[in-house]
């Protein structure tokens, strides 16, 4: 007679538990990230995997851990997350799964600040991205898409002499745009963009992908020039991200001024 298997004393099979951690960083290409993260990735246990979602210099790094020991997994995941935050401390947009527009919106809302935009090359994309966030009506006042020089002069009060002498894609003009839209909208903060998204319109000194930015926070005004690579849509999206990052850093008091450039 066959004996029945004794299952009363067998411990129940433990189920796997999943823990996920994110950080969002700015300013790296996928190739640059691969070299930086390689050493960190080599020290991850087999039950933790890392994934990288990189788009227009904004990167979301995700750690996913799966293990039956819940407490051990959480302890390890918190440690790895802290290690990542330390590696990318100066370039971190968020220690959680937040878009650039979400982070900017949270900063503005927390401080009860308002923002407006003066957009040339981004063509309203800044306004679109900012207003995708629920509750943005509490801090976003509006945007002027000043594609033509007449709109820059007549609506934003940019001096025509600045446009004639320096060109629409220049530091003096983009600073005039930021000041003008801030005065027009009566906003605490302002973002201005002027550039050459392409595929045509570039010159030897101002090639396609050249974008001038200005960000204003109360009396503080900073400006810089970036040369982006890629097609028209990539330049527009990259410029949109960069403009918001500039204001985020200015609000956090972590903005580092760009070395002076000759934009003549």
The predicted-structure confidence for 160-176, as pLDDT tens digits, reads as follows 999 999 999 999 999 99
Q: How is 62-80 classified by DSSP, letter by letter?
A: EEEEEES-HHHHHHHHHHH
pTM: 0.91
Q: What percent of the chain has pLDDT over 90?
A: 85
Q: What is the mean pLDDT of residues 192-210?
A: 92
As beta bridge partners, residue 116 has: 142, 190
First to last CA, the chain: 98
Give the closest residue to 223 by CA, choosing from 184, 185, 165, 166: 166
Q: What is the pLDDT of residue 258?
A: 81
C-alpha neighbours within 13 Å on the C-beta side of residue 224: 17
The predicted-structure confidence for 4-48, as pLDDT tens digits, reads as follows 444 445 555 678 999 999 999 999 988 889 888 998 999 999 999
What radius of gyration do the chain's Cα atoms show? 24
CA 240 to chain centre: 8
């Amino acid at each position: 007679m066959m004996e029945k298997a004794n299952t009363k004393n067998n411990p129940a099979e433990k189920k796997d538990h999943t823990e996920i951690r994110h950080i969002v960083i700015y300013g790296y290409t996928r190739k640059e990230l691969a070299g930086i993260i390689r050493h960190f990735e080599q020290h991850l246990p087999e039950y933790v995997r890392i994934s990288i979602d990189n788009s227009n210099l904004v990167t979301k790094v995700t750690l996913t851990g799966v293990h039956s020991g819940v407490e051990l997994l959480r302890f390890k995941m918190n440690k790895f997350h802290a290690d990542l935050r330390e590696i990318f401390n100066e370039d971190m947009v968020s220690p959680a799964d937040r878009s650039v527009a979400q982070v900017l919106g949270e900063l503005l809302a927390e401080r009860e600040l308002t923002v407006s935009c003066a957009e040339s090359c981004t063509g309203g994309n800044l306004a679109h991205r900012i207003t995708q966030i629920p509750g943005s009506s509490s801090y976003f006042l509006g945007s002027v898409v000043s594609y033509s020089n007449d709109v820059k002069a007549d609506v934003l009060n940019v001096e025509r002499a600045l446009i004639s002498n320096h060109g629409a894609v220049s530091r003096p003009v983009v600073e005039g745009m930021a000041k003008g839209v801030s005065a027009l909208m009566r906003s605490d903060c302002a973002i201005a963009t002027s550039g050459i998204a392409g595929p045509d319109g570039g010159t030897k000194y101002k090639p396609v992908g050249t974008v001038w930015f200005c960000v204003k926070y109360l009396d503080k005004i900073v400006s810089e020039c970036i040369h982006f690579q890629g097609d028209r849509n990539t330049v527009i999206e990259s410029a949109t991200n960069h403009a918001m990052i500039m204001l985020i850093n200015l609000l956090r008091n972590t903005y580092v001024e760009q070395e002076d450039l000759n934009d003549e």
